[in-house]
Structure 1
Amino acid sequence: MKIICNKSNLVKGVSIVSKAVPSKTTMPILECILIDATTDIIRLTANDMELGIQTEIDGQIVDRGMIAIDARIFSEIVRKLPDSEVVIETKENLQTVITCEKAKFDIAGKPGDEFSYLPVIEKEDSIRISQFTLKEIIRQTIFSISDSESNKLMTGELFEIKDNRLRVISLDGHRISIRRIDLKDDVADKKLVVPGKTLIEISKILSGEADSVVEISYTNNHIVFEFDHTIVVSRLIEGEYFRIDQMLSNDYETKVRINKKELLSCIDRATLLVKEGDKKPIIINIGDELMELKIKSQIGSMNEEIMITKEGKDLLIGFNPKFLIDALRVIDDEEVTLYLMNAKAPCFIRDDDESYIYLILPVNFNAVA
């Protein structure tokens, strides 16, 4: 095999597929990136058997062939090469020569036919959304997945397609994040639990352009994302997701309309007094036209008042400040509406169309303060 390509194209391609190279594996071939130039297109592939990524790069194929090269070494080499044309050539003994201007590397390769190709997915159905929308949906939900492997379903997000709407849901036992969008095309109802790791890596690759489309295809076991000459294939998490709708309620005793930026800034300031790992709640006292926020720790205390528009009862309630910050940071609206029932019931932050819903459980501040 012999190919010639621009360094910037090669770096971009290697960066994309490297996200599917496992950090630990008992199969050395999976620590490699496959360079496949057996057709008229140069393809790079990495696969950790749960997540696989393949992307195409521009370049000239002088001699067809393929080779698997250690991903870490290959990535470091191409990143530090001069900004020029790169020639990659394999010898009969699988030695691979990488040349760029006066730089020349000679490294060992592995047979390409030993590499684990991406599974061929017979797509049952698909939806199409913009890269911008998908990137935003992930940003606005991914923070509330669980990092505990004890409940695998919580480490993923539910993609629920129903009545030509896509609802994306994540939860970690203390909060729930929901984003909902309308789909342009008619599509059958479906529920898929997508690993959080897959969505995090996809979010890094997406350009986020509003006029660029992602095609999302799926079967019962796999989901495929196709965009910008890149294919991402991921296994789905097996099992039935939690019955979220039973946890959602439109009932409330107190409704608060508040400037989002003011509320976020206030809570952010309050956390200056909380050491990392401390579970100090922020206590919110909701009155007629004012919301008072208080926090107390070993370092000191703080209280601040914010103007609000309130309907219903006064309320004293406590929250983990991080959970409020995480939700408020990803909401783009200038004002937000909080719906509350009592000091022990969840707080809902949602817009009128319910395009987003954030459920946050309160904390017993008498026990923690």
Structure 2
Amino acid sequence: MKFTCEKMQLEEAVRLVSKAASPKSPIDALKGILIRAGSDLRLTCYDLRRAIYTDIDADIKDGGSVVVNARLFTDVIRNMPDGLVTVSVNEDFEMLIKCGVTEYTLTTISGDEYPELPEMDRERKLDIPQNILSSMIQDTIFAVSTNESRPVYMGSLFEIENGTMTIVSVDGFRLALRKESIDHGGSDTLRFIVPAYALSDIEKICSDSEETMSLSIGTKHISASVGNTVIITRRLEGDFLSHEKAVPRDFKSKFKINKADLARAIDRVSTILVDGEKKPIKLVFGDGEINLSCRTAVSRSVDSCICEGSAEDVEIGFNDNYLRDALKAINEEEILFCINTGSSPCVIKSAGDDESYLHMVLPVRLSPGN
């Protein structure tokens, strides 16, 4: 095998696919990058959960396929000088990498030892604008659970119905939901769960443009393709929380608040939380004002934020990071903070009462003295 390509193009391809390498796998081939030179140059990584492959332009002199250690190859290509890189592999599977006066020799194995990628069956295809999908993932992925005892919640639920796509993430303490109108070319309802690690990869290959990316849904796998790059991942299976039943629709009080003012107040009162200290911040909702406070064993902080709305001094404890995440995901200057009691879920959404994005967060029990 022998080919020549631009160093920067090869480096970007290696960086992209190596996320799916499996450095701790007992299978040597899965620790590496499969490089296949044929009509074009394809780089592939597969960790048995998801696969990423991409095609790049190259001047291919001799075809073939080998597997090279992903970590080592990544470091070598990154440290190469800019310019044309020539890669050749001899009959003993020794790889020679040259760029100018810089040379490396690496040991590889035959590409025949690399496992086959999963096949997509009974596909349903969707074309979604890249900027919309990227934004929806960013606004919900932070609420995905990391609890391996409930694997179904280690991904986000996709629902596509009546021209609307909804993405929902739940971790047991909060729920993030985002809706957008799309043209899915059918009247049927689609429901599938995409693992968070794959969502992160998909978000990174999307651009800010309105150009579409292709999402294919099979019975066991999902694939996403943008340009010459394809990501294939397993679907998560199981019963996902019904967000229609979980999210309250009626509230005793709604408070209209400037998002930046509330965010700054949260930052100020939580300053005393150091060394990973897990103490709630207390919000007291009153008449035209929200009073915030926090108390630790050695310190106390107080602040306030003006708002529109009133309640009879309802006290609610929150994890400060959960509130920050919700505020960051709302691209509006003003928000609605919707409450019932001090022990019931709260909903945060845009001040226009638009439910295209909402965040539900469960309160934290306040101990005496908070």
TM-score (norm 2): 0.96
Rounded to whole Å, the distance in 2 between the matches of 1:366 and 1:258 is: 27
* Mapping for residues 247-326 of structure 1, pairs under 5 Å: 247-310=246-309, 313-326=312-325
Matched, 1:346 2:349: no
Change beyond 3 A, Cα 1:311–1:214: farther
Conserved 8 A contact 1:344-1:362: yes
Counterpart of 1:360? 361
Is the Cα contact below 8 Å between 2:140 and 2:167 reproduced in 1?
yes
Aligned with 1:293: secondary structure?
strand
Q: Distance in 1 between matches of 2:225 and 2:240?
A: 25
Matches within 5 A, 1:54-203: 54-187=53-186, 188-203=188-203
Count of equivalent residues:
367
Q: Secondary structure at the match of 2:363?
A: coil
Q: Gaps spanning 5+ residues in structure 2: where?
A: none
Supply the distance in 1 between the matched residues of 2:189 and 2:5 (Cα, whole angstroms).
44
Per-residue Cα deviation, 1:298-348 (whole angstroms, up to 9, x for no partner): 342221121100055542211111111111112111100011110010000
Q: For the Cα contact (< 8 Å) 1:253–1:313, is it kept in 2? A: no
Percent of aligned pairs with the same residue? 32
Residue equivalent to 1:31: 31
Q: Distance in 2 between matches of 1:99 and 1:282?
A: 58
Pair 368,99 (structure 1): closer, same or farther in 2 beyond 3 Å = farther
Q: CA contact under 8 A between 2:252 and 2:340: conserved in structure 1?
A: yes
Which amino acid in structure 2 is aligned with residue 49 of structure 1?
Answer: L
AA aligned to 1:76 is D
> Any idea what SS the aligned residue of 2:20 has?
coil
Three-state SS of the structure 1 residue aligned to 2:3 is strand
Distance 1:286 1:112, change over 3 A: same
Distance 1:25 1:324 in 2: 38
> Is the CA contact (8 Å cut-off) linking 1:81 and 1:100 kept in structure 2?
yes
Q: Residue 309 of structure 1: SS of its match in structure 2?
A: coil
The alignment partner of 2:8 has SS state of helix
**CA distance in structure 2 between the aligned counterparts of 1:368 and 1:227, rounded to whole angstroms:** 54
| Counterpart secondary structure, 1:185 | coil
Comparing 183-192 with 222-231, which one deviates more in the overlay? 183-192
Q: Deviation of residue 210 (structure 1)?
A: 2.1
- Separation (CA, whole Å) in 2 of partners of 1:85 and 1:301: 61
The one-letter amino acid of 1:134's match is L
Quick one: which amino acid aligns to residue 204 of structure 1?
A: K
Distance 1:33 1:367, change over 3 A: farther
1:3 is paired with a residue whose SS is: strand
Q: Secondary structure at the match of 1:12?
A: helix
Q: Counterpart of 1:298 in structure 2: which amino acid? A: A
Q: What amino acid maps onto 1:194 in structure 2? A: V
The structure-2 alpha-carbon separation of the partners of 1:355 and 1:368, relative to structure 1 and needing over 3 Å to count, comes to: farther
1:250 deviates by 1.1
Over the aligned positions, Cα root-mean-square deviation in angstroms equals 1.5
Structure 2: distance between partners of 1:360 and 1:367: 22
1:200-226 CA-partner distances (Å, limit 9, x unpaired):
2222333x2222321111112101000
Using a 3 Å threshold, how does the CA distance of structure 1 residues 196 and 213 change in structure 2: closer, same or farther?
A: same
Task: Give the AA of the match of 2:23.
Answer: S
Q: What amino acid is the match of 2:268?
A: R
Measure, in 1, the Cα distance between the counterparts of 2:125 and 2:355. Answer: 24
| Contact map agreement 1:281 1:368 (CA 8 A) in 2 | no
AA of the residue aligned to 2:149: S
Deviation string for 1:139-195 (max 9, x for gaps)? Answer: 111111111111101111111112221111111111001111111232331111111
SS at match of 1:366: coil
CA distance in 1, matches of 2:312, 2:196: 39
Per the TM alignment, residue 123 of structure 1 is displaced from its structure 2 partner at its CA by 5.0
Q: State the Cα distance separating 1:275 from its structure 2 match.
A: 2.1
Q: Quick check: 1:47–1:117 contact (8 Å CA) kept in 2?
A: no
Task: Give, in angstroms, the shift of residue 29 of structure 1.
Answer: 0.5
**How far apart, in 1, do the equivalents of 2:14 and 2:368 lie?**
51
Tell me which amino acid in the other structure corresponds to 2:203: S
| Letter of the structure 2 residue corresponding to residue 5 of structure 1 | C
Q: Tell me the SS of whatever aligns to 1:8.
A: helix
Q: Report the 3-state secondary structure (helix = DSSP H, G, I; strand = E; otherwise coil) of the residue aligned with 1:209.
A: coil
Are the equivalent residues in 2 in contact too, given 1:254–1:315 (CA < 8 A)?
Answer: no
C-alpha displacement of 1:91: 0.4
Q: Compared with structure 1, are the counterparts of its residues 189 and 86 closer, same or farther at alpha carbon in structure 2 (3 Å cutoff)?
A: same
Using the TM superposition, give the Cα deviation of residue 119 of structure 1 relative to its aligned residue in structure 2, in angstroms. 2.0
8 Å contact from structure 1 (residues 161, 191) kept in 2:
yes
CA distance 1:223–1:276, change in 2 (3 Å): farther
How many angstroms apart in 1 are the aligned matches of 2:191 and 2:310?
37
Amino acid at match of 2:45: A
